[in-house]
């Protein structure tokens, strides 16, 4: 069980990186759609990009705090 | 090195701010005789439209003088932002030395409350520690500068691309071209990007710092209280979401008014026939869009972030409603009831909906293009 606990922060980190990559892809598609005058599709892609980015940042912070909780405990408590 | 007097920490930021913001202070000094000589005429001259650059220059000069007086990083940042906007409108860019000045001012501002002269004399630092400190500080500063300049270059390139796309699209689509080349739109895009980069970078740096120096107490404390982690990007999200859903909802309102309510109303009051003229229809189109947007943005949080049961209920409700509309349509067209219930005319409903959407948006974009022409963003 402690193996999983040690790996957890990196799982969150992987999820966060995947979400941010997806968000960037959606942002680029949004610019492409806007260029081709498909305004609603472009706006929708931008909206999806923002949502994914927000989720990715959330996952990034969670991974950092979980890592802190695990690693900090090994070093003996208070920092 | 430990005998740096405290006065250095007071003088250095003010000197840096004065050097970076010299032109503004110079402008202030030049304008001062005019203000003192005849304040009323000066204010009147400022209030006119040609006086606007001078007014902005004067505001930034006053801010610059205040920055030099107080050496506050916040004032420095505000002055620099106004300066960047003013200069950007004239076509110049702010010098990169201003970022360096910002770092000096921040540094001094952080040290100033806690530093006492001779405080460093009691420390015995080995050379290794000293070098580690200097290298670490230089690395952090270098990263910050790199990131700021990189983000600025990216946004600049994006804006250039947008403007060139606008000039290319002039022949194809006037509305899009007007939208892309409008200076106000450019400013809004820059602001959105800046906010986005800021949130991205602060979250990334927070997480990186926590990965490098894990702290159990802090982590548990934050994990207990969820609001500390929330990283939602509010402003563009809400506006975009409201506009998209309003765009979907408004034509339905329009269709319901003009197909269902209108024929009944004109039977009762023939004067209402005025509302079917072109001008009135365009005006009502815009009005309905605004109404839909306001209503949607009020209630959208309750709908979308509600519990999963309520969202499922709404989805099922919408599906049932669409099916019922299709059934009604078949019944109106004369089919017997049982046949209408089992195989309703969904295609006809679809083409009706498409028709009303197309008509609504033809009117809407006519209005938008008209507005852009009035404002001068489109030829």
Q: What is the pLDDT of residues B153-184, one digit of tens each?
A: 777 777 777 777 667 766 666 655 666 666 66
Q: What percent of chain A has pLDDT over 90?
A: 10
H or E segment to which residue A9 belongs:
helix A2-35
User: CA B35 to CA B65: how far, in whole Å?
Assistant: 16
In chain B, the largest separation of any two C-alpha atoms, in whole Å, equals 99
At B353, list the tokens: 């909906």
Contact of A17 with chain B, judged by CB distance below 8 Å, is answered with: no
* Smallest Cα distance from A68 to chain B, Å: 4
Is A24 inside any structural domain? Answer: no
* Smallest Cα distance from B155 to chain A, Å: 13
Nearest Cα to B93, choosing from B103, B78, B80? Answer: B80
Q: Does B203 contact A60 at a Cβ distance shorter than 8 Å?
A: yes
pLDDT digits (tens, 9 = 90+) for B291-349: 777 766 666 666 666 666 766 776 777 777 777 767 766 776 766 777 767 776 677 66
- ipTM > 0.85 (yes/no): no
Is A46 inside any structural domain? Answer: yes
pTM equals: 0.54
User: CA A30 to CA A39: how far, in whole Å?
Assistant: 9
Q: Which of A20, A26, A50, A73 to mutate to test the interface with B (most CBs of B within 10 A)?
A: A50
Is A79 inside any structural domain? Answer: no
Is A78 inside any structural domain? Answer: no
User: CA B241 to CA A48: how far, in whole Å?
Assistant: 10
Q: Does A61 contact B229 at a Cβ distance shorter than 8 Å?
A: yes
Q: Which of B204, B213, B214, B229 to mutate to test the interface with A (most CBs of A within 10 A)?
A: B214
**Contact, B218 vs B228, CB < 8 A?**
no
Contact of B197 with chain A, judged by CB distance below 8 Å, is answered with: no
Q: How many CB pairs under 8 A join A and B?
A: 104
H or E segment to which residue B102 belongs:
helix B97-111
**Contact, B71 vs B101, CB < 8 A?**
no
At A74, list the tokens: 């090994």
Structurally, chain A folds into a number of domains equal to: 1
Contacts of A69 in chain B (CB under 8 A): 214, 216, 219-220, 223
B71: phi > 0 → left, psi -120 to 50 → alpha, else beta; which?
left
Q: Where are the domains of chain B?
A: 1-124, 151-231, 235-305+345-375
Residue A36 structural domain: 2-19+30-73
Average pLDDT over residues B239-261: 67
Exposed/middle/buried for B346, CB within 10 Å: 0-12, 13-18, 19+?
middle
Residue where the block lists tokens 């540094």: B107
Q: Which of A16, A43, A68 to mutate to test the interface with B (most CBs of B within 10 A)?
A: A68
Question: pLDDT class for A19, splitting at 50, 70, 90?
Answer: very high
Is A7 inside any structural domain? Answer: yes
Nearest Cα to B142, choosing from B152, B134, B153? Answer: B134
Is A52 inside any structural domain? Answer: yes
E-assigned strand segments in B89-197: none
CB atoms within 10 A of CB B17: 30
Q: What percent of chain B has pLDDT over 90?
A: 0
pLDDT digits (tens, 9 = 90+) for B64-84: 777 777 777 888 888 777 777
Contact of B324 with chain A, judged by CB distance below 8 Å, is answered with: no
pLDDT digits (tens, 9 = 90+) for B201-233: 788 877 877 777 777 777 777 777 766 556 565
E-assigned strand segments in chain B: none
Contact of B164 with chain A, judged by CB distance below 8 Å, is answered with: no
User: CA B246 to CA B292: how far, in whole Å?
Assistant: 5
Half-sphere exposure of B336 (CA within 13 A, CB side): 2
Length of chain A: 79
Contacts of B211 in chain A (CB under 8 A): 64, 67-68
């Amino acid at each position: 069980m402690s193996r999983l606990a040690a790996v957890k922060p990196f799982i969150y980190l992987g999820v966060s990186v995947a979400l941010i990559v997806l968000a960037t892809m959606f942002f680029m598609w949004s610019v492409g759609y806007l260029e081709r005058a498909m305004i609603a599709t472009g706006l929708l892609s931008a909206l999806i990009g923002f949502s994914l980015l927000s989720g990715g940042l959330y996952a990034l912070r969670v991974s950092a705090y979980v890592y802190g909780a695990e690693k900090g405990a090994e070093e003996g408590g208070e920092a | 090195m430990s005998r740096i007097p405290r006065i250095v920490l007071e003088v250095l930021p003010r000197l840096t701010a004065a050097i970076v913001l010299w032109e503004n202070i110079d402008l202030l000094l030049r304008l001062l005789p005019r203000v003192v000589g005849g304040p009323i005429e000066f204010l009147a001259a400022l209030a006119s439209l040609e006086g606007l650059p001078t007014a902005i220059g004067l505001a930034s000069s006053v801010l610059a003088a205040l920055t030099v007086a107080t050496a506050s990083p916040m004032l420095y940042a505000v002055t620099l932002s106004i300066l960047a906007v003013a200069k950007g409108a004239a076509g110049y860019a702010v010098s990169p030395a201003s970022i360096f000045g910002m770092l000096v001012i921040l540094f001094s501002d952080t040290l100033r409350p806690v530093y006492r002269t001779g405080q460093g004399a009691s420390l015995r630092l080995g050379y290794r520690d000293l070098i580690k400190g200097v290298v670490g500080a230089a690395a952090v500063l270098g990263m910050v500068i790199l990131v700021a300049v990189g983000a600025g270059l990216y946004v600049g390139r994006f804006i250039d691309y947008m403007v060139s796309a606008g000039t290319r699209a002039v022949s194809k689509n006037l509305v899009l071209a007007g939208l892309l080349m409008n200076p106000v739109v450019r400013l809004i895009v820059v602001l959105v990007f800046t906010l986005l980069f800021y949130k991205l970078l602060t979250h990334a740096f927070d997480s990186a710092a926590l990965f490098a120096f894990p702290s159990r107490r802090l982590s548990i404390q934050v994990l207990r209280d969820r609001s500390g982690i929330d990283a939602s990007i509010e402003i563009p999200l809400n506006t975009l979401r409201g506009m998209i859903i309003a765009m979907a909802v408004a034509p339905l309102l329009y269709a319901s008014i003009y197909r269902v309510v209108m024929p009944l109303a004109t039977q009762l009051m023939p004067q209402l026939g005025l509302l079917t003229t072109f001008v009135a229809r365009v005006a009502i189109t815009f009005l309905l869009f605004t109404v839909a947007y306001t209503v949607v943005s009020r209630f959208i949080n309750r709908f979308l972030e509600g519990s999963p049961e309520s969202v499922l209920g709404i989805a099922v409700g919408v599906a049932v409603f669409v099916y019922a509309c299709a059934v009604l349509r078949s019944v109106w067209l004369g089919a017997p009831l049982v046949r209408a219930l089992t195989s309703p005319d969904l295609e006809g409903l679809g083409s009706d909906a498409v028709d009303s959407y197309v008509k609504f948006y033809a009117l809407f974009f006519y209005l938008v293009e008209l507005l852009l022409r009035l404002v001068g963003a489109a030829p």
